Chain A
Amino acid sequence: MTFFYLAPWIVFFPVIGLLVNLIFGDRFSERVIGTVASIASGLAFVVSVLLAYSLTQHPDAVRWTIGEWIHVGTLQLDWIFRVDTLSTTMMLVVSSVGTLIHIYAIGYMHEDVRFKSDLKRFRRFFVYLNLFIAAMMILVGGDSYLMLFVGWEGVGLCSFLLIGFWYEMDTLGRPSWANSDAAKKAFIANRIGDFGFLIAAFLMFWAFHSLQFDQIFQQAPAIAASNPGLITAITLFLLLGVTGKSAQIPLFVWLPDAMAGPTPVSALIHAATMVTAGVYLVTRSAALYVTVPAAQYIVALVGAVTALFAATIAVGQYDIKKVLAYSTISQLGFMVAGVGMGAFAAGMFHLVTHAFFKALLFLSAGSVILGMERGHHHLAHTDHDEKQDKGRKKKEDKSHGDAHEEVFDPNDMRNMGGLRKTMPVTFWLYLIGTLALAGIWPFAGFWSKDEILANAFSQGFTAIYWLLTIAAFFTAFYMGRQIWMVFFGGPRHEAAAHAEESPRLITIPLMVLAVLSVVGGALNYPGLETLSHWLDQTVAFIKPIEFQMNVALISTGVALLAILISWLLYGRKPLKVGEIDPLQNMLGPIFTGMERKWFVDELYWALFLDRYVDVSRFVADVIDGKFWHDWFHEKVIAGTYNWLSHIALNRYADQLGIDAFFNSLGQWTKDTASGLRRFQNGFVRSYALFVLIGVVAILGYLIFK
């Protein structure tokens, strides 16, 4: 029994959910809004499961047509959902993680200090979330590059809307345009990537006369043999799209700023699902990439360099979400490197496990932030008692007494510390996520990361292997640093001392994700390779890979070493209040470089943005202002027009022509009238005479005509 006819409902359910909230949402309470959205997402998950079950019965790809879409010339595209093992894997990840995050968000958005019971905002948030799920499903369920692009743009739009969700404030709730600037940055960086995607799609249509997956992949080997440069160009332009959406070098700069969005958004869109679209795209285009090994190597290199580069930056961050953001970039680098090397199953495997543990980490970080905010809130109310028994930090206490004079940043790890005791559940969940991310056996991250490393090693990509291994070292290090800073030692801020555990609505989805983070590796255990066989039905370029004991030992050893070093630096002697980071002392400018993300933003400003502003200014001042406005419009067009209207039309045509004609007409009427009025003399006999003359004249005419 198969359920392929349900395929369209993966999109329709979220759309129905968002429509219900959009139309009836103003009568709903928070809980109802959240429940409707969660059910919509949950039903999409049920459909995904049914589709996956159907695929076990009927392993070939099913193309379920809904209707006609674009029929222009040779471009024949229909609205088709493609159900195969690859797309179903993505659907399962998106809908399962998405549903958990929907549930979490009901609790989170209520607790968010910026929320202030604005029910419209609450509804808007869940409408956007459902819209995102729908767009993501279109992305992964599309049957052509154009359909994929529709979803690609749709998720980009949702990302923009949700990064700028608190558009009128910055991340600390102060009035500012910082958040909307972050949203614009994400949108513009993605636009550059989308440009690459579009060029690639145009080239594909030019080369293959089609945008449909199967038709392109069938012709790929033949075209690659006759014109390899063209395929290379297509794949590299696709890579530009990937770097935009999946935050790879050089377009990764938007993702850290995207943390301005609410934490569930960071987890759902900017960690688990949307940013992996690039990895999905490369995997989907496997048939193109395998024909051009040079392009594959570039993809792998971009991924590996990004993995290491972002991992080093993560070491120097103090914002709990920024660390995770750079970690996400780094892990996406792992995936891109994996699929770039042709290890499509390994890349997808890491995508799935990363979705679990990174969503877990982000949501736990959200729980930590809420706990800090609660502690801070508590503090503001009982400030006077605090002052009495704790006189040690006069300056800080004073600042809180004066109604938040100094803005409190609940994201800053320098304010945290010792949360292990105040937030035990969150601590354990965070620890599980950390171990999974750091790649410690037997957590999910170990298996997936190891598979990528083993591929790099056994296929001879030595440079990439070492880049990734060093990145894995940094990964374990920054996660260790984070754990020690956040959960161990003593509280470095009164808010941390009074932090409270989050309610169960928030922690239960986390527990589910934690379980998945522990056992997720079972998807593709070496020897079983369930996921590889599953994907092999669609991707067809998956090579079996044996477990490499030495690689596993090296990566585990490196991770343990990194955690040990992080303990020596941050765990053994916890950071004191106001103390600078020990790495700052040891590494000096290098740490500053890490903290300031190697000045990439500044570099981009100097290289591109300032130049762009210069060009814009030149265009505005000289081309537009001086040439077009001052000279062409003012002088040429307006001058000619004025001359024409003033001299030619007004004086000659109007005054002497039309005016004169109508004036003379009026004058003539007046003259005639004053001549004729003489007959109206009032003497009835003269009227009678005229009547007689008239009659005689008419009769005379009739008789003598």
Chain B
Amino acid sequence: MVPVTDYVALSAILFTIGALGVLIRRNPLVIFMSIELMLNAANLVFVAFTRVYNVLAGQIFVFFVMTVAAAEVAVGLALIVTIFRTKHSINIDEMNSLKG
């Protein structure tokens, strides 16, 4: 059986890749994908610990996370489409009008 530390390590790697992706990439679509990566890193940990402790709560949480992620992406894509219609660009660095 694969030890739980491997899952956690994989999850950490996935999360770091996701976080770096959010910070570095300028394309919002890629950023969304990176966010999904982070969410799924979390899911992986949930599932892993469900196995270890033999409780179902973690698996139920995963379903919640996936549902919320799907909703979030739907909203996010709608926003991106609207922004593209007004700005004719989806470069994240051009969306800087909310500054102090």
Chain A residues in the interface with B (C-beta under 8 A): 677, 680-685, 688-689, 692
Contact = CB atoms under 8 A, between A and B. Distances in A.
Given A692-B19, A692-B23, A685 B92 contact: yes
Nearest to A685: B23
B21 to A, nearest CB: 11
A688 B22 contact: yes
B52 to A, nearest CB: 21
A679 to B, nearest CB: 8
Nearest to B26: A685
A683 B93 contact: yes
B98 interface: yes
17 contacts: A677-B100, A680-B100, A682-B96, A682-B98, A682-B99, A683-B92, A683-B93, A683-B96, A684-B92, A685-B22, A685-B23, A685-B24, A685-B92, A685-B93, A689-B23, A692-B19, A692-B23
Nearest to B95: A684
A682 B23 contact: no
Interface string B39-77: 000000000000000000000000000000000000000
Interface in B76-100: 92-93, 95-100
Contacts of A688: 22-23
Contacts of B26: 685
A688 B35 CA distance: 12
Contacts of A677: 100
Contacts of A682: 95-99
Given A682-B95, A685-B23, A692-B23, 16 more contacts: A677-B100, A680-B99, A680-B100, A681-B96, A681-B99, A682-B96, A682-B97, A682-B98, A682-B99, A683-B92, A683-B93, A684-B92, A684-B95, A684-B96, A685-B24, A685-B92
Contacts of B93: 683, 685
Contacts of A683: 92-93, 96
B18 to A, nearest CB: 11
Interface residues of B, number: 13
A685 B30 CA distance: 13
Contacts of B19: 692
A692 B22 CA distance: 10
A672 to B, nearest CB: 13
Nearest to B25: A685
A697 to B, nearest CB: 14
A690 to B, nearest CB: 10
A577 to B, nearest CB: 109
B66 to A, nearest CB: 22
A685 B35 CA distance: 13
Contacts of B95: 682, 684
Contacts of B22: 685, 688
A242 B24 CA distance: 113
Contacts of A684: 92, 95-96
Nearest 9 A/B pairs, CB to CB: A682-B96, A682-B99, A680-B100, A677-B100, A680-B99, A681-B99, A688-B22, A689-B23, A683-B96
A232 to B, nearest CB: 98
Contacts of B97: 682
A680 B96 CA distance: 10
A684 to B, nearest CB: 6
A682 B100 CA distance: 8
Contacts of B24: 685
Nearest to B19: A692
B28 to A, nearest CB: 9
B94 to A, nearest CB: 10
Contacts of A680: 99-100
A691 to B, nearest CB: 9
A684 B80 CA distance: 14
Nearest to B35: A688
B15 to A, nearest CB: 11
Contacts of B100: 677, 680
Nearest to B97: A682
A547 B96 CA distance: 129
A681 B98 CA distance: 8
Nearest to A674: B100
B17 to A, nearest CB: 13
Contacts of B98: 682
A689 B92 CA distance: 14
A683 B19 CA distance: 16
A424 B13 CA distance: 137
A513 to B, nearest CB: 103
Contacts of B92: 683-685
Contacts of A692: 19, 23
A684 B26 CA distance: 10
Contacts of B23: 685, 688-689, 692
A347 B92 CA distance: 121
Nearest to B20: A692
A673 to B, nearest CB: 9
A700 to B, nearest CB: 15
A689 B19 CA distance: 9
Nearest to A681: B99
A685 B26 CA distance: 8
Nearest to A689: B23
A677 B100 CA distance: 6
A685 B91 CA distance: 11
Contacts of B99: 680-682
Nearest to B100: A680
B84 to A, nearest CB: 16
B14 to A, nearest CB: 15
B48 to A, nearest CB: 19
A261 B95 CA distance: 98
A443 B97 CA distance: 119
Nearest to A687: B98
A685 B94 CA distance: 11
B46 to A, nearest CB: 18
B38 to A, nearest CB: 11
A683 B97 CA distance: 9
A677 to B, nearest CB: 4
Nearest to A679: B100
A685 B24 CA distance: 7
A592 to B, nearest CB: 104
Nearest to A695: B19
A688 B23 CA distance: 7
Nearest to B98: A682
Q: Which of B24, B26, B93 has the most CB of A within 10 A?
A: B93
A681 B97 CA distance: 9
B11 to A, nearest CB: 15
Contacts of A689: 23
B90 to A, nearest CB: 12
A680 B97 CA distance: 10
A358 to B, nearest CB: 101
